[in-house]
Structure 1
Amino acid sequence: MSEMLILPQWLITSPKEAPKKDWGVRVVADQITDVASNSDLRKKYPSYPVWEAPGQVLAPGFVNTHTHLYGVLAHGIPLKKAPSGFWPFLEDFWWPLIEDRLDHAMINAATDYRCATMLKSGVTGFYDCTEGPYALPGCLFSQADIVRKWGLRGILSFEATQRVSEENAQLGLRENVEFTKACQAAADALLSGLICHHTTFTCSAEFIRQAYQIAQDLGVLLHAHVSEGTYEPEHALKTFGMRTVPYYDKLGVAGEGLLASQCVQIDADEVALMAERGVRMTHMPLSNCEVGGGIAPVPELVQAGVTVGLGSDGYVDDFFEIMRGAFLIHKAKHQDPGVMPANLVWYLATEGGARALGFEKVGRIETGWQADLQLIDADLPTPVQDHNLYDQLLLYRNAGDVKGVLVAGEVKVKNGQVLNADWDALHAKTREAADRLWEMAK
């Protein structure tokens, strides 16, 4: 059983509270068992091993609430013509050149690499959505072996869709069901599953209701991409006579069991409906820009009381960059520097994300909570103080400044190095998989 004291210069218990100077924690097994000043911890536990962290900040680990780990393989793929809009992005690029070409070996190579980079970026928990209709069956089970090797806290799912065929759609649901049941039967403390369908424009009402009922029966969330661009709400209005979120409400799906990612093109009535029904939302600030989807109304969602987390969407790996995106783009949109303050962004990246995914006692440094932690170098050119610490770290730190990471009390990063990471081998495997994908896509 691992046990230690971690004694930093600064401690972030929760971004809703002021940072504490010269405070640290006691970790026993997978839990935080004491939070106190460094001097008190030394006196109370004189025989405990000590992780000295001068000039560093101890904070909750980041929770990446929405990623596509295989997405790294698409970075730099040759294109004869760049997609011009959200629908062409899917129909001309993402579906035929990426998703439809994926196999187990490609998914595993990308997962291996991305698990290491997530740890390097201070991410301790994540939700991944695999989209690869011809990688069925068994892709989640194969991928899970890689995630377990790295010891991250994760949720894996397969995005079931009827865009290929009804048979393929049912295969996708079955993959989610079998994987979720296997995790539940094994009482896996770190790895779990959920049910996932794509969108209202690739899935019928009957299929969405089926997916939702399965999720309810298994006691897990149902995930869907919601109004990532203008295409889905326009399609919903034309086809169903209402926008996307009201349509989900009509189907009986819009509730606490729905995890809605993106939510870029939603209006004020949909924000209010999500808050009323308890729909959870995950925000991908940078990928929404990349695909030209727009800027999600996250300040409005937060103000309305919606549970919100941050995600990378498989686009940019460094979670500090994701936070900066959320911190900056909403200020520009609202023309108000007070929008999305740094401590709120930190909350969305930690406890908010954990709540969105349903992780219990994750995302805060408090006695009895999970020891999912990170240490960040705070050696900056201007003084770090309690009034500016959130801003300083958010604006001027990157993955390279993460010096330590623990997941469920197990050390994963030490002295800035991801333990057991052979970066040359990881790069080689990922490049080999990308080369094969790119060759197939020609």
Structure 2
Amino acid sequence: MTLVLADWLISSADQPAQQGWGVRVVDGVVDHIGPNTELLTTYPDDDIVDAADHIVMPGFVNAHVHLYGTLAHGIPPVEGAAPDGFWSFLEDYWWPKVEDALDIAMIEAATDYVCAEMLRSGTTTFYDILEAPNAIPDALLAQKEVVERRGMRGLLSFEATERAGVEIARLGLEENARLIDSCGPGDLVGGLMSWHTVFTCSADYIVEAFGMAADRGVMSHAHVNEGVHEGEWAEANLGQRTVEFYDSIGVAGPHFLASQCVQLSDHERDLLAERDVRVTHMPLSNCEVGGGIAPMPELLDAGVTVGLGSDGYVNDFYEVMRGAFLLHKARLQDPRAMPAETVLEMATLGGAKALGLDRVGCLLPGWSADLQVVDARFPTPITQHNIADQIVLWRNHSHVRDVMVAGLWRVRRGEVLGADIDRLLAHSREQAVRLWEVGR
């Protein structure tokens, strides 16, 4: 039994922070929250973690990441020039130079390093999407071993696609099924079904994948309208836009996770809300690929469940939150858009809801003890009304002292337990060099 006694406790991003409160952890779950004095009096024999001058709050849920993406950071551009659009980004750069060049050794190295990177910045849960057509079968099972060793809560999937031929298409579905079937109900690691897009997957293939997920009681995921290309392609080839097509084949619903959702028609926005489709938002990577700025304030106002993701681009989740906080204010020319409390909820409880996770994303009795301890020594006083702004605007990974996942400490005093960061970094660089050579 452990008491974590803080200056401030954020038990849930949608509830007021409490000054001088802490949390009691028993057997991997939150047992009690309350004033520090009450916890000390009631549980005098518990181990005590002093979090004075710190905030205790839920660990982040990175609801969309490509762990392998870290190996592409700084990769030489195609023939000395950057891609000039979303389609050229995929066809000339991302597919041939990154995804098609990946092997299991590269994937393992990236997974190990990025898990440590995420832990250091307060992320306790993530959903990863792997597309590496030449690394299957068994790439997901190799990833699973790494994630289990790091002690994170992770959902894994392979981005199945028909773009690489019939054999790879079949292997992609089987890769997802094998991973899902290998996970038990109480495991920290689980699986989702994933396919790429409507322009790389046929209707029959998507319906088959969705049915395989339903048979296994898991959600399905696809990228949706990351730029203008998919919606325009769907209109020209399917006679309707992307979300409309998903609705017509029975996929659009609460068991479907649509990531990106940048370029949406008004009708597509309405359908996402009406069908209770889950959505994940990647504000920084959407800018990097020139996709645009997704209409997340509008989707939130319509009642859509939205989680936040890094896309494997910038994995310090404080930076991702800052992007979400600032970009929408600029797009809408409204400083009231996307308040810090909303962003913090997207980064915690919203992400857990988007992924269909139960009792994750809050620090309430009976919920999983996934938490972070964050430096609260700001140059101005913390109050209930400004604590979310203080966190979203003026913290980063360097301010995270401790991280707990399912009641076990994974980071203490800024150090990832059981991880030699220098070794992980060196190994990642070695594999990145291999990737860059293969992808030339």
TM range (shorter): over 0.9
- Give the Cα separation in 2 of the matches to 1:267 and 1:374: 38
Matches within 5 A, 1:145-224: 145-184=145-184, 187-224=185-222
- Give the Cα separation in 2 of the matches to 1:276 and 1:397: 36
Q: 1:373, CA displacement in angstroms?
A: 0.4
Query: Could you tell me which residue of structure 1 aligns to residue 139 of structure 2?
Result: 139
- Give the Cα separation in 2 of the matches to 1:195 and 1:388: 39
Matches within 5 A, 1:21-420: 21-79=19-77, 80-184=80-184, 187-420=185-418
Given the alignment, which residue of 420, 426, 429 partners 2:427?
429
Q: 1:189, CA displacement in angstroms?
A: 2.0
TM-score when scaled to structure 2?
A: 0.99
| Secondary structure of the structure 1 residue equivalent to 2:134 | helix
- Give the Cα separation in 2 of the matches to 1:62 and 1:423: 21
Residue identity in the other structure for 1:337: P
Q: Which moved further from structure 2: 206-215 or 380-389?
A: 380-389
| Secondary structure of the structure 2 residue equivalent to 1:159 | strand
Structure 1 runs (4+) greater than 6 angstroms displaced: none
- Give the Cα separation in 2 of the matches to 1:38 and 1:268: 49
| Secondary structure of the structure 1 residue equivalent to 2:183 | helix
| Secondary structure of the structure 2 residue equivalent to 1:288 | helix
Residue identity in the other structure for 2:100: D
- Percent identity of equivalent pairs: 55
- Give the Cα separation in 2 of the matches to 1:305 and 1:385: 28
- Give the Cα separation in 2 of the matches to 1:385 and 1:100: 50
Residue identity in the other structure for 2:313: Y
Residue identity in the other structure for 1:260: A
| Secondary structure of the structure 2 residue equivalent to 1:133 | coil
| Secondary structure of the structure 1 residue equivalent to 2:325 | helix
| Secondary structure of the structure 2 residue equivalent to 1:119 | helix
Residue identity in the other structure for 1:418: V
- Give the Cα separation in 2 of the matches to 1:287 and 1:122: 20
Q: Deviation per CA, 1:189-219: give whole Å up to 9, x if none.
A: 2011111100000000000010111111111
Q: 1:430, CA displacement in angstroms?
A: 0.2
Residue identity in the other structure for 2:306: V
Q: 1:188, CA displacement in angstroms?
A: 4.4
Residue identity in the other structure for 2:350: G
Q: Deviation per CA, 1:231-282: give whole Å up to 9, x if none.
A: 0000011111111100100011101110000000012211111111110000
- Give the Cα separation in 2 of the matches to 1:111 and 1:15: 28
Residue identity in the other structure for 2:427: K
- Give the Cα separation in 1 of the matches to 2:166 and 2:81: 31
TM-score when scaled to structure 1?
A: 0.98
- Give the Cα separation in 1 of the matches to 2:26 and 2:174: 38
Residue identity in the other structure for 1:357: L
Q: 1:419, CA displacement in angstroms?
A: 1.0
- Give the Cα separation in 1 of the matches to 2:357 and 2:191: 12
- Aligned CA RMSD, in angstroms, stands at 0.7
Q: 1:82, CA displacement in angstroms?
A: 0.7
| Secondary structure of the structure 2 residue equivalent to 1:171 | helix
- Give the Cα separation in 1 of the matches to 2:338 and 2:422: 38
Q: 1:287, CA displacement in angstroms?
A: 0.2
| Secondary structure of the structure 1 residue equivalent to 2:182 | helix
Q: 1:290, CA displacement in angstroms?
A: 0.2
- Give the Cα separation in 2 of the matches to 1:387 and 1:281: 28
- Give the Cα separation in 2 of the matches to 1:401 and 1:25: 20
- Give the Cα separation in 1 of the matches to 2:8 and 2:334: 29
- Give the Cα separation in 1 of the matches to 2:322 and 2:242: 29
Residue identity in the other structure for 2:171: L
| Structure 1: runs of 5+ lacking an equivalent | none
